[in-house]
Amino acid sequence: MTAHEQNRSLISSLIRDIPDFPKPGVVFKDITPLLASPTGYRAAVEELAASAPDGIDVVVGMEARGFIFAGPVALELGAGFVPVRKPGKLPGDVYTQTFSLEYGDETLAVHTDAIMPGAKVLVIDDVLATGGTIGATAALISRLGADLVHVSVLIELGFLGGRERLEAVGVHETSAVLKV
């Protein structure tokens, strides 16, 4: 078994399913046992960083679980970290983007000067579901004039079609550590 296969096996073993959360019929992928395990958390960061193309300038993570992985991945890659937040959480001038989620509408914000035009950006998140959060983040990155070169997620819920929705809005380079 390769190191990547060992990491993925460990990561998978530390993610538990919570049925009927946040609403009946949904099976929530709970990453808290993974985060509580130093070796599991480290394996997740390593796998997310391993998918990054060379020359990443900035790693973007979305509130809130994206922060958990994007910050350490940025350090691993020697890149900067930029948070994409919910409205009212960032001081100063921001761009906002509203989008639809599985459970309703949401808005994300980023500082207008957070990323330099032309910067190579890697987006990191815990889950790719319908693609709404990442699609909105891609729109914000585009508005900043930066180049979104790759998206890496810990878990892809393939049955929800998020990857296809991202491709439809021009996000073509996506990888997942685990696919469900």
Burial of 170 (0-12, 13-18, 19+ CB in 10 A): exposed
Please give the backbone phi and psi of residue 65, each rounded to the nearest 5 degrees, phi first: -70, -25
Provide the b/e sequence for 159-168 (b: ≥16 CB within 10 Å). Answer: ebebbebbee
Active site residue 65: yes
Catalytic site residue from 8, 42, 65, 165: 65
Structure tokens that stand for 62 in this block = 């979305």
Which amino acid, one-letter code, is at 88? G
Active site residue 102: yes
**Which active-site residues does the annotation give?**
65, 102
